[in-house]
Amino acid sequence: MNHLLYIDSGGGSYIIQIIIATALGAGYYFKFYWGKVVFFFKKDVKSIDQCEQDKQ
């Protein structure tokens, strides 16, 4: 604990912020990678469409 700490940071507040940050972080990374997956498939569909258009 830092020696200049003069306010009560609260044990429960320490624990809950770690849990919240972990949950938010998990959500953040899930969104990030889910976006990549969606982008990958969309890109794939687009490229198929593009190929079909080129053929026509």
Partner 1 sequence: MNKINNRLPSSFKDPSGFVFKLNNTIYRQVNKSYCENYNILINNGLYEYLANDGYLISHEETHDVDFQTIEGYKIIKPKQISFISYPYEWCFDQLKDAALATLRIQQKALDFGMVLKDATPYNIQFLKGKPVFIDTLSFEKYITNHPWVAYKQFCEHFLAPLCLMHYTDIRLFQLLKTYIDGVPLDLTSRLLPAKSKLSFSILSHIHLHAYSQKYYANKTVKSEGKLSLKGLQILVQNLINVTNSLTIKKQKTEWGFYYNNINYIAESELHKKTIVSSLLEKASPKTVWDFGSNTGLYSRIASEKGIETISFDIDEIAVNTNYKLVKEKKESNILPLILDLTNPSANIGWANNEKDNLERRGPANLIMALALIHHLAISNNVPLLQIASYFHRLGKWLIIEFIPKSDSQFQRLLLSKKDIYLDYSCEQFESDFQCYFSIIERIPILGSERILYLMQAK
CB of 21 or CB of 51, closer to partner 1 = 21
Going along 1-56, which residue ranges are E strands? none
Burial of 20 (0-12, 13-18, 19+ CB in 10 A): exposed
Closest approach of partner 1 to the CB of residue 25, in Å: 5
CB of 1 or CB of 37, closer to partner 1 = 1
CB of 6 or CB of 53, closer to partner 1 = 6
Residues that bind partner 1 (CB under 8 A): 1-25, 28
The two three-digit tokens of residue 32, written as one number: 């990030």
